[in-house]
Amino acid sequence: MTSFLPQSCFRQLARQSLTRRTPVFLAPESSRFQQTQYFSSTPRTQSRIGGAPISIPSEVSLKFIELPQLNVRGQGKDQPKVEIEVTGPLGQLKQTIPSFVTVEHDEASRKATLSVQDSMIPHQRAMWGTTRANLQNLILGVSEGHVCILSLVGVGYRATVEPTAVTKEPEYPGQQFVSLKVGYSHPIELGVPKGVTASTPQPTRILLQSTDIQTVTQFAAEIREWRKPEPYKGKGIFVNGETIRLKAKKIR
């Protein structure tokens, strides 16, 4: 007469077989099958952005400047050894390169390639692509420039660029101010940062131009903070073709 084991017994036997120790003479062989397997099959040592070469226009030149090294005891912040000076028809910008990043400039092919000392270190692998993107932005800034277009969507929303302001004092000679009318009772006046050119081709459009992408995008974000796009009526200040998904109206 055959007897059937309850399901709880099968679970207990399976649990014991999994937690049972592997014999010593089988340990090397079993470790071969217990190697860590990653979800992605692509190599983890190559950066898709950092490894791509940068094309340098003919009117742009790169100059490598060695920075002085300070004697600092212990392990502190990374000390950059090289600073790159990018010169173009629109201006001149500088960027410091981390000590573990190497920039190879081929003047014949007008290409620049970046590499790191040890791509297995997460910090170096992360800064690999970041440094390459920053250098690419500098080259585009001095050759073509960076543009931010802000759209004011709302009834009565207007913007103007004024040479003087009522609520603020100029930080440098000739500073202009962006005046916003976006539903507040008090005037909103924002000083244009140095190196940024602001204009209003339409009453509901603000055009910002600069060679430095960080400065122009930061100023655009400061303007957007006064009226963030809201999801019910779609009103607000939109930057560079920004869109928002509208929600259904609340019915009480």
pLDDT (tens digit per residue) in 162-211: 999 999 999 999 999 999 999 999 989 999 999 999 999 999 999 999 99
Which residues make beta-bridge pairs with 244?
Answer: none
Which CATH number does the domain housing residue 110 bear? Answer: 3.90.930.12
The whole-number pLDDT of residue 1 equals 46
Per the CB < 8 A criterion, the answer to whether 206 and 197 are in contact is no
- 120, 144, 168: which is the final residue of a domain? 144
Q: Which residue has the higher pLDDT, 200 or 10?
A: 200
Residue 177 inside a domain? The answer is: yes
Residue 201 inside a domain? The answer is: yes
Does the pLDDT at position 135 exceed 90? yes
The whole-number pLDDT of residue 250 equals 74
Are 171 and 231 in a shared domain? yes
How confident is the model over 138-143, as a mean pLDDT?
96
Residue 190 inside a domain? The answer is: yes
pLDDT (tens digit per residue) in 53-100: 999 999 999 999 998 877 766 556 788 889 999 999 999 999 999 999
Query: What is the band of 41 on the pLDDT scale with cuts at 50, 70, 90?
Result: low
Query: What is the band of 14 on the pLDDT scale with cuts at 50, 70, 90?
Result: low
Query: Which ranges constitute the DSSP H helices of the chain?
Result: 7-19, 27-33, 122-143, 213-224
Are 155 and 134 in a shared domain? no
Are 84 and 135 in a shared domain? yes
Query: Which helix (DSSP H) or strand (DSSP E) does residue 82 occupy?
Result: strand 82-88
> Which residues, 6+ apart, have CB-to-CB distance to 94 below 8 Å?
83, 84, 85, 86
Mean pLDDT of the chain: 85
- 144, 166, 200: which is the final residue of a domain? 144
Are 135 and 152 in a shared domain? no
Query: What is the band of 24 on the pLDDT scale with cuts at 50, 70, 90?
Result: low
Residue 104 inside a domain? The answer is: yes
Does the pLDDT at position 44 exceed 60? no
Give the closest residue to 139 by CA, choosing from 197, 194, 94: 94
Residue 116 inside a domain? The answer is: yes
Residue 121 inside a domain? The answer is: yes
Query: What is the band of 33 on the pLDDT scale with cuts at 50, 70, 90?
Result: very low
Are 158 and 235 in a shared domain? yes
- Domain count across the chain: 2
Are 167 and 83 in a shared domain? no
Are 97 and 162 in a shared domain? no
The two beta strands, 82-88 and 101-106, are unpaired
- 110, 144, 178: which is the final residue of a domain? 144
Are 132 and 184 in a shared domain? no
Are 234 and 151 in a shared domain? yes
Are 155 and 229 in a shared domain? yes
Domain extent at residue 86: 54-69+77-144
Kindly report the backbone phi and psi dihedral angles of residue 201, in degrees, each rounded to the nearest multiple of 5, phi listed first: -65, -25
Residue 103 inside a domain? The answer is: yes
For 235-251, the DSSP string reads -EEEESS---PPPPPP-
How confident is the model over 136-151, as a mean pLDDT?
96
Does the pLDDT at position 23 exceed 60? no
